[in-house]
């Protein structure tokens, strides 16, 4: 699993603790994009605490001073180096729920898709998600999604989701060049170009910055 952090001190420990309950997680790679808070220190302390448990997973931390260096590309490269069967990508923003990992991985495990996007705009929780998202975030997501779907055969509802899974095949086929938010749409566009099977699953989100996430 790949986690992208940037000033994520408020969320990262609880995210890692919840991940520890997920049997399908074999390794966690954290790419930190220039955090100026206690994110790295908290991750390191959490790793020590988790290592005392009988069932845990290795955590690798990669620090980047520049947020524009391409965290998604780095995570895919690390997953390929480890010969991973699949990679779950998530932004540690306090928005995404680790309980949805299985839901996002299942289409890959069942050989139904090679790129699975956790959509905030489909499924039973879409109405609640809308209320929990910032207005500006909803506008940005919908606008970017409209552009991403132009000319696409496979239409998606949430090209800007920061929670997705990629199969080994997709990791070999997809070529990413952009950074930051732009890489999300690029991943979908290149998957479409390579005729990679894309699927969305509805996910729930928590309010950003809310203690409810814990």
- pLDDT given at position 209: 45
Q: How confident is the model at residue 22 (pLDDT cuts 50, 70, 90)?
A: low
pLDDT for 173 beyond 90 = yes
Number of domains, the chain: 1
Concatenating the DSSP letter of every residue in the chain gives: -EEEESS-TTTHHHHHHHHTT-TT---EEEEEE---SSHHHHHHHHHHHHHTSSS---EEEEEES-TTS-HHHHHHHHHHHTT-SEEEEEE-SS-B-GGGHHHHHHHHHTTS-SEEEEESSSSTTHHHHHHHS-HHHHHHHHHHHHHHTTT-SS--S-TT-SEEEEEHHHHHH------TTHHHHHHHHHHHHTT--EEEEE--B--TT-GGG-
Q: How confident is the model at residue 151 (pLDDT cuts 50, 70, 90)?
A: confident
pLDDT tens-place string over residues 92-131 = 988 898 889 999 999 999 999 999 999 999 988 888 888 8
User: Considering the domain boundaries, does residue 214 fall inside one?
Assistant: no
User: Considering the domain boundaries, does residue 17 fall inside one?
Assistant: yes
User: Considering the domain boundaries, does residue 96 fall inside one?
Assistant: yes
Of 39-48, 61-70, 104-113, 140-149, give the range with the top mean pLDDT.
Answer: 104-113
User: Considering the domain boundaries, does residue 199 fall inside one?
Assistant: yes
Mean pLDDT along residues 44-54: 82
- pLDDT given at position 68: 56
- pLDDT given at position 157: 93
- pLDDT given at position 31: 94
User: Considering the domain boundaries, does residue 153 fall inside one?
Assistant: yes
User: Considering the domain boundaries, does residue 35 fall inside one?
Assistant: yes
User: Considering the domain boundaries, does residue 159 fall inside one?
Assistant: yes
CATH number at residue 66: 3.90.550.10
pLDDT for 55 beyond 70 = no
User: Considering the domain boundaries, does residue 191 fall inside one?
Assistant: yes
pTM for this model (two decimals): 0.89
Domain that holds residue 122: 2-208
- pLDDT given at position 206: 82
């Amino acid at each position: 699993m790949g986690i992208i952090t940037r000033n994520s001190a408020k969320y990262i420990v609880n995210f890692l603790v919840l991940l520890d309950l997920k049997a399908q997680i074999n390794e966690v790679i954290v790419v930190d994009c220039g955090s100026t808070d206690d994110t790295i220190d908290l991750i390191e302390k959490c790793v020590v605490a988790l290592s005392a448990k009988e069932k845990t997973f290795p955590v690798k931390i990669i620090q980047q001073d520049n947020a524009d260096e391409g965290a998604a590309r780095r995570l895919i490269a690390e997953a390929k180096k480890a010969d991973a069967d699949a990679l779950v990508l998530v932004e540690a923003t306090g928005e995404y729920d680790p309980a949805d990992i299985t839901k996002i991985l299942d289409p890959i495990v069942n050989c139904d898709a090679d790129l699975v996007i956790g959509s905030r705009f489909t499924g039973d929780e879409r109405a609640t998600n809308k209320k929990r998202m910032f207005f500006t975030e909803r506008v940005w997501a919908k606008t970017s999604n409209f552009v991403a779907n132009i000319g696409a055969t496979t239409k998606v509802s949430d090209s800007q989701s920061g929670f997705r899974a990629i199969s080994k095949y997709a990791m070999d086929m997809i070529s990413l060049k952009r950074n930051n938010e732009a890489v999300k749409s690029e991943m979908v566009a290149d998957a479409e170009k390579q005729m990679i099977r894309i699927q969305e699953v509805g996910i729930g989100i928590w309010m950003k910055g809310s203690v409810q996430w814990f």
